[in-house]
Amino acid sequence: MNELRKFDLAVIGGGTAGLVASRTAASFGAKVVLIEGNRLGGDCLWTGCVPSKALIAASNAATNARSSAHLGVSVSDVVVNFAQVMAHVQDAMDEIAPVDSAESLERDNIDVVIGKARFTGPDSIDVNGRELRFQQALIATGAAPALLDIPGIDAVDVLTSETFWNLRIAPQRLVLLGGGAIGCEIAQAMARLGVAVTIVQRGPRILPKEDERASALIQSALIADGVEVRTNCTAISVTSADRRAGTAALSDGTTLSFDRLFVALGRRPNTADLDLSCAGVLRDVHDNIVVNSRLRTSNPRIWAAGDVTGLPQFTHTAGVNASVAAANAILGLTRTVGSTAIPRVTFTHPELGAVGLQARDARAGVHRILTWDHEHVDRAVTEAKTAGYTQLIVDKRGRVLGGTVVGPRAGETLGEISLAVKNRLTTSDIASTTHAYPTYNDGLWSVAVADVRHRLGSGLASTASRALRRLRIARLS
């Protein structure tokens, strides 16, 4: 950008939300500037979705090689070159990076500025010591791993989802604090690559936001891969002589030795350095930017999207919400963000996908819980991966309100359930749609068919079908 001028939309943050918002606004003919303080692409590209899935792919390859004897294939030796694994991870990021590059954005008529931004007024920003004025702005600065405040922690170079990807030598012992999605994915992947891993989880089970059965299945899978899971305890202090290896004291009176310590205890919004008070933008008690259902902040000129808002922190929600916010800002629309059909996937093996209403929220007499165990899914049987299930939550009319899937490629099946939840489709809609066979998605179709048969066999539907059958018999006599 040769000179700073007044823009239709100034976007702060070059992660998923910022990239989508910038491209959406530019597609409407708006003059857009995107300001990023570090590197374009954000967490998803550099520290989240892309590197973690590349690591998981490598760990799956190692495990498949070791555990194929029951399929009639034996591999005598599996060698893991961790440096090469992490090179594969870096290659995946580098291959995708050009899509989010400054050159790509500039081809879409978006000005890009690398620098720190802070508000100096309700319609102005300081960038690298120069003032930029805007008609409207969108904050998309994301979030960062939450810090841990216990005695001794300052003496340890703690790994987080941001710093882990700099590793080139695998630790022999990895202690991981936090049993959420990030913790479970990293723990299982590293265990499959030959590292001794221990998860320390505050509550009684890992993945506490998920269905209890799903959580138990994932925990069993982690244990089978060699992960030690410590529940109902926390780290209360750590010691280290070299800033890497050390000992963690736990609240249950035990200790754990580690070569590296990984902290995955949630995330905090990146709002501290924006001088939001100068722009009249309010934050909540957790420092999330407060937005209404249209993603507008307390300053009518300024919008926000992505992890900085405190809404569900997923790349897909960041992208969808950023598109909504940009369209509202540039076109004056009043689109709102949805909250009932937001899918989430934990990419362990097996995967765990969930969307909408869950079993714990179902009300007797109002909702029904439909479950199809994967021991009855032919594709699962052929691959000897039957420890999973597909579950739907439906209302009295059979409308799909939510669901959970545990199994290989659960995230793919979840797309159809999400569509059903958003569009208030019924199990009849799913059952009457031809599904490819044999796939893991067959579990969804089977549970839908079972529900349709149940409804046809009860109430008015049963009475009508019996009457039609008697009439048919009479006509054929």
Residue-wise pLDDT tens digits, 244-302: 999 999 999 999 999 999 999 999 999 999 999 999 999 999 999 999 999 999 999 99
CATH topology of domain 153-265: FAD/NAD(P)-binding domain (3.50.50)
- How many CB atoms within 10 Å of residue 83? 12
**Among 386, 345, 394, which Cα is nearest to 366's?**
394
pLDDT score, position 461:
67
Write out pLDDT tens, residues 363-390: 999 999 999 999 999 999 999 999 999 9
Share of the chain above pLDDT 70, in %: 97
Amino acid found at 72: G
Average pLDDT over residues 52-72: 86
| Contact between residue 233 and residue 226 where contact means Cβ atoms under 8 Å apart | no
pLDDT score, position 66:
75
DSSP 217: H
**Among 3, 1, 21, 2, which Cα is nearest to 11's?**
21
Q: How far apart are CA 15 and CA 47, in angstroms?
A: 11
| Contact between residue 399 and residue 424 where contact means Cβ atoms under 8 Å apart | yes
How is domain 344-459 classified at the architecture level of CATH? 2-Layer Sandwich (3.30)
| 423 token code pair | 């569009």
pLDDT at 94 over 80: yes
Residue the block writes with tokens 């905090």: 268
For 364-380, letters b (16+ CB in 10 Å) and e give eeebbbbbbbbeebebb
Q: How far apart are CA 344 and CA 328, in angstroms?
A: 26
Q: How far apart are CA 420 and CA 354, in angstroms?
A: 13
Q: Pairing relation of β-strands 143-145 and 267-269?
A: antiparallel
Q: How far apart are CA 455 and CA 445, in angstroms?
A: 15
pLDDT at 469 over 70: yes
H/E stretch holding 145 reads strand 143-145
Q: How far apart are CA 227 and CA 222, in angstroms?
A: 5
Average pLDDT over residues 23-41: 97
Helical spans, DSSP H, in 98-226: 102-107, 181-192, 212-224
| 157 token code pair | 């170079």
Please state, in angstroms and as integers, the Cα–Cα distance from residue 25 to each residue in 10, 31, 162, 332, following that order: 10, 8, 29, 12
Burial group, residue 65, by CB count within 10 angstroms (0-12, 13-18, 19+): middle
Mean pLDDT of all residues belonging to the chain: 95
Average pLDDT over residues 438-464: 87
Write out pLDDT tens, residues 147-182: 999 999 999 999 999 999 999 999 999 999 999 999
User: Is the peptide bond between 151 and the residue preceding it cis, with omega within 30 degrees of 0?
Assistant: no
| Contact between residue 184 and residue 206 where contact means Cβ atoms under 8 Å apart | yes
Instruction: Quickly state the pLDDT bin for 1 (edges 50, 70, 90).
Output: very low
How large is the angle between the packed helices 82-96 and 49-66, nearest 10 degrees?
Answer: 140
pTM, two decimals, is 0.93
CA angle 191/414/178 to nearest 5° reads 35
Instruction: Quickly state the pLDDT bin for 232 (edges 50, 70, 90).
Output: very high
Average pLDDT over residues 306-327: 96
Share of the chain above pLDDT 90, in %: 88
| Contact between residue 37 and residue 116 where contact means Cβ atoms under 8 Å apart | yes
pLDDT score, position 462:
66
CA angle 184/187/188 to nearest 5° reads 85
Instruction: Quickly state the pLDDT bin for 352 (edges 50, 70, 90).
Output: very high
Average pLDDT over residues 394-400: 95
How is domain 7-40+101-145+268-331 classified at the architecture level of CATH? 3-Layer(bba) Sandwich (3.50)
**Among 54, 37, 34, 32, which Cα is nearest to 45's?**
54
Instruction: Quickly state the pLDDT bin for 230 (edges 50, 70, 90).
Output: very high
Tell which wins on pLDDT, 76 or 350: 350
Average pLDDT over residues 206-222: 97
Which residues of the chain does CATH 3.50.50.60 include?
A: 7-40+101-145+268-331, 153-265
pLDDT score, position 5:
67
pLDDT at 439 over 90: yes
Which residues of the chain does CATH 3.30.390.30 include?
A: 344-459
